Each structure stands twice: as C-alpha cells, then as structure tokens.
C-alpha cells in the first residue's frame, strides 16, 4: 500500500504517544469498564489502546469484536477474549481511530483497509469513541477517500467515479500488486477537488453498483484529541 495513503503504524512523536496512552486509559475507565461487548477499530492508535487493555484486571469479563486481523492479532497477544460479531447484534461501545476529521466532525477512515467492517461495527454500537492525534483534526477533508469495490466492477467504477469529478487510484502493495482487503475486494483511493457535502458525496458513491463501502463517516459521540505536549482533550461534538 502507498504509505502516503495508509495510517502510520506507530506515531513517531513521543509526546503524542504519551498523550495517546493517557487518553486510552481515560477512555477505558470511562467507556469500557463495566461493559460486556466492546468493538475495536483498526490502526496504530487502537493498537496502543489494546496494550492498555492488556493491563486491566477485568479484561476477561469483556467480549471484544475486532474490525481487522491486525487488531485481532494484537488483542490475542494481550489476552483479550475475541468473539465473532455474529454472536451479538449490538455493541455497547466501539473505540476506533480516524485518518482525518473535519470541523463538522465528519471523518475519512479506511487508510488501513478495514472501512467496511469498521462501518458495520460502528452502525451496531450504542456509543462511538474516536481517538486520534491533533494532526488528524482539520478544517476540511483533503485526503483521498478510500472506496471498497468489487473487483468485477473496477473498470466501470473507475469511469463512473471520474464522471463525478473524482480521480480514483487503485491501491497497491509495496510490490505493486493490487491491495486486497480482508473481504477480498479492491480499494480505489479517490481524490476530489472538492469533497463538498459529505453526506451527498457518500450517497452518490454508494449508489454506484459495485461500490461496497465508502470511507466517509458521520460524526461520532466522543473524540479524544492527543496533543503534541503530551496532553489530550475530550471533545463532545453535541455540546
């Protein structure tokens, strides 16, 4: 995968790492303790959260549903109880990261390729908690939007997306092979000169046959913003 499109697997700033660890501990004590079914998103920030989970004495009391193999492996190492999503219709809370968050709290997610499972789990969660460092918070969404597509529809979709003003690029691995999601699909990382109304853009893209999911996400319930001075901020967009 093009490293400019995917999330960094480990935040490089030590103060940011400290802030993420602190915010993870706060989120766990506030939103996870006492819960029975918890969803875990993907990415470097959630990997840090899992390390904090490994230290909890009540971790065996919680059933965890993961959105990616990456976090499933990390969770297994941490001794967490991983369960199949089909066993539960509702998650009490999901903790996830984001690639970019605008001032209206719309998000771009899917840099790691797990957008479909993340969106499914988010739709099943009573509360959505997003954890990200301060660089992910921006005025307007500017990153390419990951679009998960069926491989059979790729040529058609490339043209249809271009008709909407998009510039789709097939995501590839470091060796140049097409990147395949855990669901067996392809991802088109698509740039737009103007994302415009996020809901409208998402609806346009989802209406094209062969588009399985779009990496545009609506606002969450709570955001944790890790800062470069080692502190963090908790943001409730509904207040």
CATH classification of the domain holding 169: 3.30.70.260
Examine the domain organization and report whether 163 and 104 are in the same domain: no
Q: How many residues does the chain have?
A: 239
Closest CA to 195 of 97, 134, 104, 116: 104
Residue 233 bears catalytic tag = no
Examine the domain organization and report whether 130 and 197 are in the same domain: no
The per-residue pLDDT for 92 is: 97
- For the stretch 38-60, pLDDT in tens is 999 999 999 999 999 999 999 99
d(CA 207, CA 36) in angstroms, rounded, equals: 36
Mean pLDDT of 190-211: 90
Examine the domain organization and report whether 106 and 25 are in the same domain: yes
Q: Please, what is the average pLDDT of the chain?
A: 92
Task: Print the domain residue range for 28.
Answer: 14-138+218-235
Examine the domain organization and report whether 113 and 75 are in the same domain: yes
| Helix extents (H) in the chain | 14-27, 44-53, 69-77, 115-124, 154-163, 198-206
Name the token pair of 175: 């060796």
Catalytic residue among 74, 118, 148, 213: 118
Examine the domain organization and report whether 163 and 85 are in the same domain: no
CATH (domain of 108): 3.40.50.1360
d(CA 179, CA 24) in angstroms, rounded, equals: 30
Examine the domain organization and report whether 88 and 54 are in the same domain: yes
In total, how many domains does the chain have? 2
Mean pLDDT of 111-135: 96
d(CA 17, CA 189) in angstroms, rounded, equals: 28
DSSP 29: I
- For the stretch 71-119, pLDDT in tens is 999 999 999 999 998 888 899 999 999 999 999 999 999 999 999 999 9
Q: Which of 15-29, 117-131, 188-202, 219-233 has the lowest mean pLDDT?
A: 188-202
The per-residue pLDDT for 12 is: 59
Cβ atoms within 10 Å of 61's Cβ, excluding its own: 12
Euclidean distance between the first and the last CA atom of the chain, given in angstroms as a whole number: 38
* Model confidence at 6: pLDDT above 50: no
The per-residue pLDDT for 236 is: 96
Contact 48, 24 (CB under 8 A): yes
């Amino acid at each position: 995968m093009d490293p400019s499109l995917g999330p960094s697997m480990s935040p490089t700033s030590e103060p940011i790492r400290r802030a993420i660890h602190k915010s993870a501990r706060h989120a766990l004590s506030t939103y996870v303790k006492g819960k029975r079914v918890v969803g875990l998103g993907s990415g470097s920030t959630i990997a840090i959260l899992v390390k904090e989970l490994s230290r909890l004495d009540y971790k065996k009391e919680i059933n965890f549903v993961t959105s990616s193999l990456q976090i499933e492996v990390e969770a297994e190492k941490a001794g967490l109880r991983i369960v199949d999503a089909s066993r539960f219709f509702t998650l009490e809370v999901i903790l996830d990261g984001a690639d970019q968050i605008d001032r209206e709290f719309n998000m771009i997610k899917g840099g790691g390729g797990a957008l479909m499972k993340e969106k499914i789990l988010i739709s099943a969660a009573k509360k959505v908690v997003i954890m990200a460092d301060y660089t992910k918070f921006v005025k307007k969404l500017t990153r390419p939007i990951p679009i998960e597509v069926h491989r059979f529809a790729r040529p058609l979709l490339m043209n249809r997306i271009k008709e909407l003003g998009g510039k789709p690029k097939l995501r590839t691995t470091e060796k140049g092979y097409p990147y395949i999601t855990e669901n067996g699909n392809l991802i088109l990382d698509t740039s737009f000169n103007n994302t415009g109304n996020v809901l409208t853009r998402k609806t346009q893209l989802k209406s094209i046959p062969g588009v399985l999911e779009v990496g545009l996400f609506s606002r969450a319930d709570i955001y944790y913003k890790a800062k470069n001075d080692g502190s963090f901020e908790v943001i409730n967009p509904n207040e």
